[in-house]
Structure 1
Amino acid sequence: MADASPIDRSDGAPGGLRPEDAARTFDAIVANVSRVIQGKAEVTRMILLALVAGGHVLIEDVPGVGKTSLAKALAASIDGSFGRIQFTPDLLPSDVVGVSVYDRRSATFDFRPGPVFANVVLADEINRASPKTQAALLESMAEGQVTVSGETYGLEQPFVVLATQNPAEHEGAYPLPDSQLDRFLLRVSVGYPSEDAEVAILASDGAEDAIPHLKPVASTAAVAALGTAGRGVHIAPGLQHYLVDLATASRSHPRLALGMSPRATLSLQRAAQARALVAGRDFVVPDDIKALAVPALAHRLQLAPEAALSGTSRSHIVAELLDRVPVPTTAGPRR
């Protein structure tokens, strides 16, 4: 567990990482996690991409497909701490962020950090908890800190929340509010393994036994350096206009009640910058945006009532926006 201390706002983040070195580090982490999670390299890449971009991931899937193992393997691969929160209807906010306890001997309050004080936090079945408890994660996800009894505590970086969500039709599930959904950079689905991967899982008798023996291939400092380098990746003004054009088109779409927010536009830009970096480039190309548009945007859109009743897919609407909005012709490397 990361140490909890009052927040220090000084910026000592490393920089100057070459794109080819970033790509090598990223691929090494993905390969290491894949030793435990069979056949899910692309899902691993998306989750690690969110970590590099400073975002969080919502995983909507059925139980038993390896979400917990994936989160543990990621933490082990970057030599980071792991925290797990099992969300239940009776879970309290203090069970998430921690609590201040009065010490009679010193006549002071001591802060006891909750499981959110970790590099990789698995928020399991987040939509089984009440909205009040779900909201306890908002400050940590948005600002990398928590405030308890008037004292603000910084979270160790890098920091990522991997929240699993049961499908909405499951009994006892609360819908996540829009303000919470908007805090997730990406929404992904792990899905069932392929036939060969499932046979490999049976042959290894499950992944849990392998995780304690998984050696780190990078440090948390190296991942933080990836994040710093990602924010410096060049994105041409033409591509920024393209992002705004996508947002404008979503806000006037007849089947949407709520289009892209400015946070959604910024999140897609940051994710595209991270994708460019780990591909070994120092500039964003249109394919970076297109490849991440559905996982970065679909969960943030709100369907109009008629579209919701007709079963319209938000992912389909994002694909439609990509088809409609023209890609700029001048969107290459900086000159």
Structure 2
Amino acid sequence: MADTGSNEALTAQVIADSSAVRKLSEARERIVGQLSQVIVGQTGVIEELLISLFARSHCLLEGVPGLAKTLLISTLAKSLNLSFSRIQFTPDLMPADITGTEIIEENRSTGARERRFLEGPLFSNMVLADEINRTPPKTQAALLEAMQERQVTVGRVRHALSDPFFVLATQNPIEQEGTYPLPEAQQDRFMFKVFVNYPSFLEEFEVARRTTTTQSESIKPVLSAAEIVELQQIVRTVIASDHVVRYALSLVRQTRVGSPGIPDFVNDMVGWGAGPRAVQFLILGGKARALLYGRTQVSTDDIQALAKPVLRHRIVVNFAAQSDGMTSDKIIEKLIACTPTREDELTSDARFKTIFAS
């Protein structure tokens, strides 16, 4: 049997020598530079979008109207030279409106009638599902199925979607009227849930200054679709040590109510916690983040940095905790605070021994 340590060292050396690592970290800087011509601030949001893209996953953005969510996504598509579709989700939108439909038309040369498939807006590299919580669950489910399977089925015929295929869905806060909140099981299909917050005073000052003149910026493409697919494959070759995987598992397994070894505050405040997909996304996201910063191995810092966007929509806070002002983000902060990052401390702690043995 081959030595695991030697294989990992060899893989790390291959990655380190590859121009892909340098290319991705440089591409990040160039993409951010292009976006900064149009978007003011939101550096954290941009980073999480890029991590989700290079991890070959999808992203859900939540924020009140007017925070440039749509502008950010369309500008990102331009900087990546990807085909882009914007779907405005409305209460009367039907599944066929986004997946496409079959029509019968006459062949002018033969006179015969033939079926022809008209592709819907999902057949693009980057799809903006704008205000996804404004459309009924049936149409939401059609989008989420395409995200998971990367194909649509119309008339018993399967049609493969473009590669890369990246869905960025936006939604208004669920307390606003006229919305259909995504169930937690459907939110689980998204790698990240990203909060888009109000800009600072200086950022909003710059927004007001830029958007009230005739000045316009030209966005230049940084990467092609083929290059993005190549980099998505490189991401999966990044090393995640057993310790990092164990740390990610520790955070996720502590969210599961009633499990052995979890903190008392989780049992008191959480309705239910995150599933195995959360661990997968933490590791994949950590790999993409490491590459974006020019590193060849995932660290516990990467896992901590991504814990909130990965876990916040996978942890359901119970009613009593909500009434006391507790949120999933605050619970994640408490979990990070009580979980050792050092391997010797994590493996020697009696509580975590119980978690690992369960």
Could you say whether these structures have the same fold, taking a TM-score greater than 0.5 normalized by the shorter chain as the test?
yes
Structure 1 counterpart of 2:201 = 195
Counterpart amino acid of 1:69? L
Unaligned runs of 5+ in 2: 1-14, 258-265, 346-358
1:62 to 61, 64, 79: 64
Partner of 2:256: 251
Q: Secondary structure at the match of 2:343?
A: coil
Paired position in structure 1 for 2:45? 43
Task: Give secondary structure in 2 for the equivalent of 1:109.
Answer: strand
For 2:313, what is the secondary structure of its paired residue? helix
- Give the structure 1 partner of residue 320 of structure 2: 306
Distance in 2 between the 1:269 and 1:199 partners? 38
CA distance 1:86–1:22, shift in 2 (3 Å)? same
**Number of aligned residue pairs:** 316
AA partner of residue 46 (structure 2): T
Q: Whole-Å Cα distance in 2 between the matches of residues 266 and 257 of structure 1?
A: 22
Establish whether residue 114 from structure 1 lines up as the match of residue 120 from structure 2: yes
Deviations 1:173-192 (A, max 9, x none): 11111222001111112222
- Structure 2 residue 280 is the aligned partner of structure 1 residue 278: no
Deviation at residue 284 of structure 1 after TM alignment: 0.3
TM-superposition CA deviations, 1:83-119 (whole Å, max 9, x none): 1111111110111111111224343321111111112
Q: Does 1:52 align with 2:54?
A: yes
Moved more, 199-208 or 18-27: 199-208
Secondary structure at 2:211 match in 1: coil
After the TM superposition, which residues 150-229 of structure 1 pair with which residues of structure 2 at under 5 Å, given as runs? 150-205=156-211, 210=216, 213-229=218-234
Q: Distance in 2 between matches of 1:215 and 1:272?
A: 28
Residues 96 and 17 of structure 1, relative CA distance in 2, 3 Å threshold:
farther
The 8 Å contact of residues 246 and 321 in structure 1, kept in 2 or not, is answered as yes
What is the CA–CA distance in structure 2 between the aligned matches of 1:297 and 1:17, rounded to whole Å? 32
| 1:308, distance to aligned residue in structure 2 (A) | 3.2
Indicate conservation of the 8 Å contact 1:54/1:158, yes or no.
yes
CA distance in 2, matches of 1:39, 1:308: 30
Residue 351 of structure 2 corresponds to which residue in structure 1? none
Match of 1:131 among 132, 137, 143: 137
Q: Normalising to structure 2: TM-score of the pair?
A: 0.83
Structure 1 unaligned blocks of 5 or more = 1-14
- 3-state SS in 2 of match to 1:204: helix
Query: 1:148 offset after TM fit, Å?
Result: 1.5
Partner of 1:101: 103
**Alignment CA distance shift 1:209-1:71 (3 Å):** farther
C-alpha change, 1:202 and 1:306, in structure 2 (3 Å) is closer
Q: Percent identity?
A: 41
- Change in CA separation of 1:125 and 1:283 when aligned onto 2, cut-off 3 Å: same
CA distance in 2, matches of 1:326, 1:83: 44
- Give the C-alpha shift of residue 194 in structure 1: 2.8
Once residues 80 and 206 of structure 1 are traced to their aligned partners in structure 2, the CA distance between those partners, rounded to angstroms, is 29
In structure 2, the residue matched to 1:231 is: 236
**1:210-267 CA deviation, whole Å, 9 max, x = no partner?**
46x3121221222222211111110001111112222221113212222110011111
Whole-angstrom distance in 2 between the partners of 1:73 and 1:210 = 13
User: Quick check: 1:266 aligned with 2:280?
Assistant: yes
Q: CA contact under 8 A between 1:83 and 1:115: conserved in structure 2?
A: yes
Inter-CA distance 66–206: structure 2 relative to 1 (3 Å threshold): farther
Report if aligned partners of 2:20, 2:231 keep a CA contact under 8 Å in 1: no
Structure of greater Rg: 2
Distance (Å, rounded) in 2 between the aligned partners of 1:114 and 1:201: 34
Counterpart-to-counterpart distance in 2, 1:205 and 1:310: 40
- Per-residue deviation at 1:305? 3.4
SS in 1 for 2:306: helix
**Secondary structure, counterpart of 2:312 in structure 1:** helix
The corresponding residue for 2:260 is none
